[in-house]
Chain A
């Protein structure tokens, strides 16, 4: 991989995503941004701010308010030489598009024996923690991750948001790009530019630790980092793995991490039953069994419809809940 001088800037996640769209559109005239309110308004989270003004209405534009239509329309655009990036305004408003996503976007390459590729990105403002009212805060990753043919990524910081989105737009495969809403305003250092190490399909160790491994992705990563910080004050060394990419899943990095500590807790906002967290726990148990000193624990949302804002704090994995799970990992000194 070639490396060019990389510029660094401090940006929020929303700004980093905006910059990724901007830079991809600058480099490739076939990149189109479309969805509900993404035009002059710049999106309800302002993620597409300024793109219509800069690139014109042919490149960044509002569509009718119809998610299946948006997804199906993007299939046709992608079939015919474009790289559409579509926005589903909120995670729980994306369900009308589900048939297009499952039956066409995910399967087109396979059903046509690789002849028709769909280089498109589905951006989904995702998960909770913003006090959203009903139908604005679902963690819908399991639906997408369960659908063969899709890549599913969830950045946990502005720099990954930028680089993973650039990679997603350049990918010949469809990517579901989950943007943790509560991190839209979180700022961080962002490495800009088009050349980078692959991020899709690779997990990273965010914090070194020797006693137990926390495995998280997207909005749960900052909470896991905080829990590790707190644990360190209590004398326990926790390692944190940030998946970044749910599909493809990086078994190698996750297993190496868990094997190095012998204990694991999976942290995710989504309801736990039949979830991505469950899949991770199962994979780790199958692959790292002989290195494990305790059963793999999951700290997830409860199996309930997403709660109203005033009860949301009880649903989201918290530092205390993570540390309680860590305490449960059959410590010899306990």
Chain B
């Protein structure tokens, strides 16, 4: 019994393979992912960082209503997408747009929710990504249901479900972990602990030894990992995905990271945290760390780095072009998707809107 519990407990400190200076840790070299995996991850992070900063700029220009940036959390974003196969599912939160882009989502469609055109811009089935969810933790039981349905059909699908540290306080987090454990569902719960839920620090969410420790209470193995170390994230998350796929049931992974920017553009982080805290975390930047390693090992050269930057610029360009293009929303859409067939009442209400619009139009022509 004791050994079962021990197996479920996370490491005493977050798993780290590359230190902030890019040097492999003592345990690091044995676990380091293959060079091409690291290069792919680095390219993904360069794009994710550029995408984050482009989206934030679009908010300042009034083209996006709001953008919750994952600047500083790019290693978590990219790793979450990179460890999944095509047939797997990803369930993101609103701060995980970079992960959706990393899994192949069109950046313009992904930002649809935040632009205000419609609530979910992309096709969840095409990407096998759940809709971006703003109510916290509510997507986690969905992930368990998707995984269970796949398991009933004998498919090899794994579902990776993301949430933040604040969401671990929500009831749906606990219910989802418990359902996944009881039904032995192939789900990897990936908590990005970025230390703040808007303004509230982690200490007000939980006094557990770590968020990864929450797994053992449900009979789920937990692991904590340095969330700014892409190498460690790829290693730990791909291990969790492999175990879930092999039928070992759900897994919980906490990525210890930091939200470098405010919650959104509407937030003022100076009201609740000190600048030197941000500076200290900025020194652990996931891109700087991996680049230092890749260059020191001769895996990355200037030409390749330039190509990654150019690819990221292309994503930023597409994002800008898409966001600067105004698409006239169709008023009929208000009623079109509520039911598979509109109720008689919705038919009447749509006619009211049509009537109003036609009168506005004829007044404009008068």
Interface residues of A, Cβ cutoff 8 Å to B: 58, 63-64, 66, 68-69, 71-82, 84, 96, 99-100, 103-104, 107-117, 148-149, 151, 171-173, 201, 247-252
Establish whether residues B143 and A76, one from each chain, have CB atoms under 8 Å apart when the complex forms: yes
Residue among A78, A149, A171 making CB contact with B145, cutoff 8 Å: A78
Q: Which residues of B contact A149 (CB under 8 A)?
A: 338-339
Closest-CB distance, A244 to chain B (whole angstroms): 14
Question: In the bound complex, do residue A72 and residue B176 qualify as a contact, i.e. CB atoms below 8 Å apart?
Answer: yes
Identify B337's interface contact among A73, A74, A114, CB under 8 A. Answer: A114
- Asked if A72 meets B138 with Cβ closer than 8 Å, knowing A79-B145, A251-B344, the reply is yes
A77 contacts B145, CB within 8 Å? yes
Contact B145 A73 (CB under 8 A): yes
* Contact in complex: A251, B345 (CB < 8 Å): yes
CB within 8 Å for A69 and B148 given contacts A110-B337, A112-B120, A249-B343: no
- What chain A residues lie within 8 Å of B152 (beta carbons)? 58, 82
The verdict on B318 contacting chain A, using a C-beta distance below 8 Å, is no
Complex CA gap A112/B171 in Å reads: 25
Given A73-B179, A173-B340, A103:B138 Cβ within 8 A: yes
Query: Measured between alpha carbons, how far is A252 from B135 in the docked complex, in Å?
Result: 38
Q: A84 to B141: give the CA distance in the assembly, Å.
A: 14
Total number of residue pairs linking A and B with CB closer than 8 Å: 137
Question: With A96-B171, A116-B131 given, is the CB distance from A73 to B144 under 8 Å?
Answer: yes
Residue B273, interface by CB 8 Å: no
Contact B171 A80 (CB under 8 A): no
Which residue from A72, A171, A173 sits with its C-beta under 8 Å from B175? A72
Are A76 and B338 touching (Cβ within 8 A)?
A: no
* 3 A-B pairs with the lowest CB-CB distances in the bound complex, closest first: A76-B145, A72-B141, A69-B175
Chain B residues with Cβ under 8 A from A84's Cβ?
145
Q: In the complex, how many angstroms separate the beta carbon of A277 from the nearest chain B beta carbon?
A: 17
User: Could you list 18 further interchain pairs (A-B, Cβ under 8 angstroms) beyond the known A58-B152, A73-B141?
Assistant: A63-B179, A71-B141, A72-B141, A73-B145, A76-B144, A77-B148, A78-B145, A79-B149, A80-B150, A82-B152, A107-B119, A113-B336, A115-B125, A116-B125, A116-B131, A172-B340, A173-B340, A201-B343
Cβ of B140 to closest chain A Cβ, rounded Å: 7
Q: Note all chain A residues with C-beta closer than 8 A to B118.
A: 111, 113
Q: In the complex, what residues of A have CB within 8 A of residue B23's CB?
A: none
Complex interface bits, B312-346 against A, C-beta within 8 A gives 1, otherwise 0: 00000000000000000000010011111001110
B residues within 8 Å of A by Cβ?
118-120, 123-125, 130-131, 135, 138, 140-150, 152-153, 171-172, 175-176, 178-179, 182, 333, 336-340, 343-345
User: A58-B152, A64-B179, A72-B172 are known contacts. Are A110 and B125 too (CB-CB below 8 A)?
Assistant: no
CB distance from B292 to the nearest CB of A (A): 41
Contact A115-B171, Cβ < 8 Å, known A72-B176, A80-B145, A110-B338: no
Closest residue of chain A to B157 (Cβ to Cβ) is A80
Q: Is the CB of B176 within 8 A of A69?
A: yes
- Is A104 in contact with B138, judged by CB distance below 8 angstroms? yes
Cβ–Cβ contact A116 & B175, under 8 A: no
**Are B140 and A72 in touch, CB under 8 angstroms?**
yes
Q: Residues of A contacting B135 with CB < 8 Å?
A: 99, 103
Q: Name the residue on B nearest A69 (C-beta).
A: B175
- Known contacts A64-B182, A76-B149, A100-B141; is A249 also within 8 Å of B345 by CB? yes
Residues in A with CB closer than 8 Å to B143 are 76
Contacts of A108 in B (CB 8 A): 131
- 9 A-B interface contacts by CB (under 8 A): A63-B182, A69-B178, A72-B175, A77-B148, A96-B171, A109-B338, A109-B340, A110-B337, A173-B340
Q: CA–CA, A278 to B178, complex, Å?
A: 41
Closest partner residue, chain B, to A151 (CB atom) = B339
Neighbouring A residues of B339 by C-beta, 8 Å: 109, 149, 151, 173, 248
Taking the nearest CB of chain A, how far is it from the CB of B1, in angstroms? 22
Q: Smallest Cβ distance from B134 to chain A, in angstroms?
A: 9
Minimum CB–CB distance for B90 against chain A, Å = 13
Q: How far is the CB of A106 from chain B (nearest CB, A)?
A: 9
Q: A72-B175, A80-B149 are in contact. Are A99 and B138 (CB under 8 A)?
A: yes
Please report the C-alpha to C-alpha distance between residue A58 and residue B143 in the assembled complex, in whole angstroms: 18
**Contacting residue for A248 out of B146, B333, B345, CB 8 A:** B345
A172 → chain B closest CB, angstroms:
4
* A79–B90 alpha-carbon span in the complex (Å): 13
> Given the interface contacts A76-B146, A80-B146, does A115 sit within 8 Å of B123 by beta carbon?
yes
CA–CA, A114 to B153, complex, Å?
24
**A297 → B minimal CB distance (Å):** 23
Instruction: Return A206 CB to nearest CB of chain B, in Å.
Output: 21
The reply to whether A117 and B131 form a contact with Cβ atoms under 8 Å apart is no
| CA gap between A107 and B140 in the complex, in Å | 17
A68 touches B345 (CB 8 A): no
Q: Which residues in A have their C-beta under 8 angstroms from that of B124?
A: 79, 112, 115-116
Question: Looking at the complex, which one of A68, A113, A116, A250 makes contact with B141 (CB distance below 8 Å)?
Answer: A68
- Cβ 8 A contact of A148, one of B131, B140, B338: B338
Q: Which residue on chain B has the smallest CB distance to residue A79? A: B146
Q: Which of B147, B176, B343 has the most chain A CB atoms closer than 10 A to its own CB?
A: B343
For residue A126, give the distance in angstroms from its CB to the closest CB of chain B: 22
For A115, what are the chain B residues with a Cβ–Cβ distance below 8 Å? 123-125
Minimum distance in angstroms from A131 CB to a CB of chain B: 31
Give the distance in Å from the alpha carbon of A63 to the alpha carbon of B171 in the complex. 16
- Nearest B residue to A63 via CB reads B179
Kindly provide the distance from the CB of B353 to the nearest chain A CB, expressed in whole angstroms. Answer: 15
- Tell me whether A74 and B145 are in contact (CB under 8 A): yes
Name A249's closest neighbour in chain B (CB-CB).
Answer: B345
Q: How far is the CA of A251 from the CA of B149 in the complex (A)?
A: 39
Q: Given contacts A69-B172, A111-B120, A113-B120, are A75 and B338 in contact (CB under 8 A)?
A: no
Nearest-Cβ distance from residue A222 to partner chain B, whole angstroms: 27
**A-side contacts of B141, CB under 8 Å:** 68-69, 71-73, 75-76, 100
Known contacts A80-B150, A109-B337; is-contact A104 B344 (Cβ 8 Å) = no
What's the nearest-Cβ distance from chain A to residue B347, in Å?
10
CB nearest to A80 among chain B residues: B149
CA distance A71 to B147 in the complex (A): 15
* A109 and B346 alpha carbons, distance in the complex (Å): 15
Of B119, B123, B142, B175, the contact of A110 (CB 8 Å cutoff): B119
